[in-house]
């Protein structure tokens, strides 16, 4: 059982939905990321996704691409991300952390070394968007053996033929992408998401969390109501990019969390 598994068990017992947030590590700098991370649980966040900046983020829209560029220009590295998480764990040993990124930095470090370091830092799971199920032996299987959840993305095009492959070896939760396309574009539509979540849940007992296109408390409430929870990323990253104070960012996050928890 990981912290992710424990969190969903607790939320289920409380009949509550999960609220998940994404922030880019090192945007605009490591100190700001540390302050935002430290404040997220108090703002109602159940699970934190932290982005590992990469030079070629093919699944991300302009908002997260630019955040990654700023982080890299500021000197953020994989080791820097691990250091941020290690520091966070000194004061919070319960909130699950999911590392979200691309395989190249992990491959460069070496899978065995990375997994040992990730576990030691306090990472609970990972989303590596450019490793399909056909490549499970690269990272997914070793990660599961190391006690880390490997979380996959399903999309509106994950049909009955593809879905079993997506669910293969997935653990923690399934991340359902509410729209076709990249992050930060479009708006999630609960009426369209609901039947897709129901279809997926016929094939898995995993919690289904919906992300992409959620920007308001009403949207987080509507999406959480038809799933096991929701993820907000680009809208929060936008606030950070605009130069909002940490206090203002966390206040905004709390409105979204309150919406999701009403769902």
Question: Active-site residues: which are they?
Answer: 49, 60
Give the span between the Cα atoms of 10 and 199, in whole angstroms.
24
Bridge partners (DSSP) listed for residue 135:
none
32 touches 243 (CB < 8 A): no
Q: Which of 18, 51, 209 is nearest to 123 (CA)?
A: 51
Q: What is the DSSP string of 153-194?
A: EE-TT--TTTHHHHHTT--S-EEEE-SSS-TT-S---HHHHH
Classify the C-alpha dihedral 161-166-170-175 as positive or negative. negative
Place of tokens 């959480």: 224
Give the helix ranges, DSSP H, for the chain: 3-13, 30-39, 62-73, 78-89, 103-109, 111-121, 140-145, 163-167, 190-201, 217-225, 234-241, 246-262
Place of tokens 């990981």: 2
> What tokens appear for 111 in the block?
């899978």
Measured from the Cβ of residue 7, the count of other Cβ atoms closer than 10 Å reads: 22
């Amino acid at each position: 059982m990981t912290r992710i598994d424990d969190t969903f068990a607790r939320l289920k017992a409380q009949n509550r939905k999960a609220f998940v947030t994404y922030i880019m590590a090192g945007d605009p700098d490591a100190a700001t990321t540390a302050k935002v991370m430290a404040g997220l649980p108090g703002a109602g966040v159940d699970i934190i996704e932290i982005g590992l900046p990469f030079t070629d983020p093919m699944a991300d829209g302009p908002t997260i691409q630019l955040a990654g560029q700023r982080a890299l220009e500021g000197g953020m590295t994989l080791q820097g991300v691990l250091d941020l998480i290690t520091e966070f764990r000194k004061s919070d040993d319960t909130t699950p952390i999911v590392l979200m990124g691309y395989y190249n930095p992990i491959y460069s470090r070496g899978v065995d070394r990375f997994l040992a370091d990730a576990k030691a830092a306090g990472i609970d799971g990972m989303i590596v968007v450019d490793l399909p199920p056909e490549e499970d032996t690269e990272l997914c299987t070793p990660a599961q053996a190391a006690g880390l959840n490997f979380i996959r993305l399903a999309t509106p095009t994950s049909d009955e033929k593809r879905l079993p492959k997506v669910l293969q070896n997935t653990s923690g939760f399934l991340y359902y992408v509410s729209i076709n396309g990249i992050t930060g574009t479009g708006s999630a539509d609960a009426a369209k998401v609901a039947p897709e979540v129901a279809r997926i849940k016929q094939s898995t007992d995993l919690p289904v969390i919906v992300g992409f296109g959620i920007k308001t408390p009403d949207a987080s409430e509507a999406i959480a109501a038809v799933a096991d929870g929701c993820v907000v990323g680009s809208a929060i990253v936008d606030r950070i990019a605009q130069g909002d104070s940490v206090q203002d960012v966390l206040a905004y996050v709390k409105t979204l969390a309150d919406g999701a928890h009403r769902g």
